[in-house]
Amino acid sequence: MPDADSLYRQQIAALYERSAFYREKLRAAGFADPAAVGGLAEIGRLPFTEKDELRASQAAHPPLGAHAAIDISQAARIYSTSGTSGAPLYIPLTRADVEQWREIGRKSYSRNGLAAGERVVTTYGAGPFVAGASLAAFEAIGCVHIPVGAGNTERLLSAIRKLAPEALACTPSYALHIAEVAASKGVSLSAVKRIIVGGEPGGGEEGFRRRLESAWRARVYEIMGIGDVAASLWGECAEQAGMHFSAEGVIHVELIDPETGKALEIRDGATGELVYTHLAREAAPLVRFRSRDHVRVWTSPCACGRSSLRVRCIGRTDDMLIVRGVNVFPSAVREIVARFQPRVTGAILIRPRRKGVKQDPPLPVLIEGDATLGEAIAGEIRATLLFTPEVRMVAAQSLPRSDYKVKLLDYSEAT
Ligand SMILES: [Zn+2]
């Protein structure tokens, strides 16, 4: 296998040849040809790629956009994003791309010890979204895969009761919801030893994880991918010390300051936004793609013996609020609230008063649980996250639940 730098140079040359979007974008930034771009060591000079640019490119040059480096007839599969802001964005893969994703997924899902012959029940749909690509990972590992799809908790509980799977893969909020339903119906979940969660932050929040682990009496392992780049890019090992990178040599990772765009040194404890560059993608390679995922990184070797880069997700840069100059991630608020379990359920909802990122204190936070806890939780949030919340305690099970990604921000009362 060629080294990362040679792959990168080939990838850039292919983009100049086949992607009108990147040819124009890189030329406009002063790089006349691939030689001017140089190698991986100089990647920080190149402009970022934003998701909005991909949307605009696809709208102006349907069906795949000017950034794609193939004709649609060469695609083997075309996923689409959930399209929260309008039309879905199509993500094409060639046969080789599909194979590459499968191998990345196999690594990520097997990091925690999931092995051939183990039964794993999954709730991801094989629908339009990239999450469906993860399903191939279970076959690649050799698991007995039991797909039950999203939105059918009864079917899931039946599968757990009758087929006794050792593992469950779903979103963290759904895993908690299933545990609550199982408890209310007296269904035993004891067969499940591993819960592999992904698709949203939560699996990495300590309090939330403890709650999940005690509700299921199972170990929780986190997985993280990003549709435009690859499904299941990161997977946690049995040491539960962050998620290991699984695409070394085929995807290049950078860490940046999301405010300034400045590259940050990747060292133990550093935090910032992940930026990805494909080194060996055929259909729609991306250069310096801004993920909007805010993470903490570790480079020191893990106790499991692997030396690959590890991360924990702190939150989405997109979900971040700024309360009088302080960055607030909704998932971080949920993490503080979880410290008060079992007197809270762990469910929260932040209801900003104003539209947009900037908010004035106190920030309204709805929390399910014991009504007498309001002041104590507000104090803990103030002391840890350095902003003033307006805590409103609400009854257990009164906030929305989800069988996919739970919403922690609700702008319906914002003016
Ligand atoms: Zn490890």
Cβ 122 vs Cβ 163: under 8 Å: no
Give the pLDDT of residue 88: 87
pLDDT tens profile 28-72: 999 999 999 999 999 999 999 999 999 999 999 999 999 999 999
Question: In this prediction, what percent of the chain has a pLDDT beyond 70?
Answer: 98
What is the number of other CB atoms lying within 10 angstroms of the CB of residue 397? 12
Produce one character per residue of 358-379: b if its CB has 16 or more CB atoms within 10 Å, e if not.
ebeeebbbbbbbeeebbeebbe
Which of 112-121, 143-152, 246-255 has the least mean pLDDT?
143-152
Give me the DSSP letters along 89-133.
PEEEE-HHHHHHHHHHHHHHHHTT---TT-EEEE---SSSSGGGG
Task: Identify residue 74 by its one-letter amino acid code.
Answer: Q
Which is more confident, 138 or 414? 138
CA 216 to chain centroid, in Å, comes to: 22
**Among residues 335, 334, 297, which one has the least CA distance to residue 313?**
297
pLDDT tens profile 286-321: 999 999 999 999 999 999 999 999 999 888 877 888
Give the pLDDT of residue 84: 55
pLDDT tens profile 204-217: 888 889 889 999 99
Q: Is 301 helix (H, G, I), strand (E, B) or coil?
A: coil
Give the pLDDT of residue 251: 98
How far is the centre of ligand 1, averaged over its atoms, from the C-alpha of 268 (Å)? 14
What is the number of other CB atoms lying within 10 angstroms of the CB of residue 269? 9
Whether the per-residue pLDDT at 83 is higher than 60: the answer is: no
Structure-block tokens of residue 312: 């924990």
Give the pLDDT of residue 412: 87
In the structure, ligand 1 is a single-atom ion and the residues with CB under 5 Å from it are 237, 239, 302, 304, 306
> In sequence order, what are the beta bridge partners of 395?
none
Pairing of strands 271-278, 251-256: antiparallel
**pLDDT band at 81; cut points 50, 70, 90:** confident
Judged by phi (left if over 0) then psi (alpha if -120 to 50, else beta), residue 149 lies in: left
How far is the centre of ligand 1, averaged over its atoms, from the C-alpha of 64 (Å)? 38
How far is the centre of ligand 1, averaged over its atoms, from the C-alpha of 206 (Å)? 17
pLDDT tens profile 246-292: 999 999 999 999 888 999 999 999 999 999 999 999 999 999 999 99
Whether the per-residue pLDDT at 162 is higher than 90: the answer is: yes
Main-chain dihedrals φ then ψ at residue 358, nearest 5 degrees: -80, 130
Whether the per-residue pLDDT at 86 is higher than 60: the answer is: yes
pLDDT tens profile 359-412: 999 999 999 999 999 999 999 999 999 999 999 999 999 998 776 667 888 988
Q: Is 377 helix (H, G, I), strand (E, B) or coil?
A: helix
How far is the centre of ligand 1, averaged over its atoms, from the C-alpha of 309 (Å)? 9
* Arithmetic mean of pLDDT, 218-232: 94
How far is the centre of ligand 1, averaged over its atoms, from the C-alpha of 234 (Å)? 11
Give every CB contact of residue 208 below 8 A, 6+ residues apart in sequence. 172, 176, 202, 334, 335, 338, 346
Task: Identify residue 395 by its one-letter amino acid code.
Answer: A
Mean pLDDT of the chain: 93
**Euclidean distance between CA atoms 171 and 64, whole angstroms:** 29
How far is the centre of ligand 1, averaged over its atoms, from the C-alpha of 230 (Å)? 21
